[in-house]
Amino acid sequence: MERIVLTTESGADLPIELAKKHRVQVVPMHVIMDDKDYEDGTLPVQDIYEYYERTKKIPSTTATNVHEYQEFFKRIKVDFPNCIIIHIGYTSKASSSFQNAVIATEDSEDIILIDALNVTGGLLAIVMYAVSVLEKEPMIEPMKLVEKIESIIPKSRLSFVPGSLEFLKAGGRVSNLAYLGGALLKIKPRIELVDGKLVSTKKYRGKMDEVAEKLLQDTLNQYELDKSQLYLLYSLGLEERIMQRMDKMVKDHGFQNVHWIQAGAMISTHAGPGGFGIAGLEV
């Protein structure tokens, strides 16, 4: 019988094989395209890019709603009676999903919600930390596990650069003037999570292979990341040679377990094709 069940959202980009292996339950967020609602994870990312090429519009995304959370947690309770659910949620500063989870569980005493203040690989790093603690201490008290998870949240680091500014422009996240200037000068913004918000902290100039290397080196210089676990993020379209170069660089820096994580449909809708990122926990 499961004493504690860990849950998160699809915006963590937790690969299916890891979710199954570690018994993490994932509730889908949503992508809206051509007026049709797709659960994140059911829509091929390539379809999003083809839709943009055809329409010059990007799909919209929506949070997991209150009813979906209620049904999600109800199913877990059926499968794992008397369990305590610890939900590690997508940052409340960028989505209403976490607030919807709060509303859905206001009458529940055995569901604990944690705002991870992070997304994609940064959220994934926190979820996998919780997995590792629970596997090492299967009889840990739920509130002790919660304390450990909450203590690691400020140490989760995520940095990424989009492959192009087109999706940011189409989604209204960058002005036409900034887009034209960035495109002409081949400038790409470095996006980080700061206090749960997506913030542009630096600008890089050059081709994607040069930019990816600068991002990786800057991140490793700025943060002392735990070498036992690192997540390299990519959106469909990132060249294989760039991925191989990044893989070699982090291994040369002594990182032992390097996991490549592909951005799912929900994240790719905002980041576009060919992006690269790095996520991990500070020691």
Q: Is the pLDDT of residue 72 over 80?
A: yes
For 117-151, the pLDDT digits (tens) are: 999 999 999 999 999 999 999 999 999 999 999 99
Overall fold of domain 156-281: Hypothetical Protein Tm841; Chain: A;domain 3 (3.30.1180)
DSSP H helices, 153-207, are 166-170, 176-185
* DSSP symbols for 68-137: HHHHHHHHHHHHSTTPEEEEEEPPTTT-SHHHHHHHHTTT-SSEEEEE----HHHHHHHHHHHHHHHHH-
Determine the pLDDT at residue 187. Answer: 79
Q: Is the pLDDT of residue 241 over 50?
A: yes
Determine the pLDDT at residue 180. Answer: 41
Q: Percentage of residues in the chain with pLDDT exceeding 70?
A: 93
- Among residues 153, 138, 152, the alpha carbon closest in space to that of 22 is found at 138
Task: Determine the average pLDDT of the residues in 205-211.
Answer: 92
For 84-104, the pLDDT digits (tens) are: 999 999 999 989 999 999 999
Strands 156-161 and 187-194: antiparallel
Domain 4-33+61-152 identical in fold to domain 156-281: no
Determine the pLDDT at residue 200. Answer: 84
Strands 230-234 and 276-281: antiparallel
pTM of the model: 0.93
Q: Please state the domain extents for the chain.
A: 4-33+61-152, 156-281
Overall fold of domain 4-33+61-152: Rossmann fold (3.40.50)
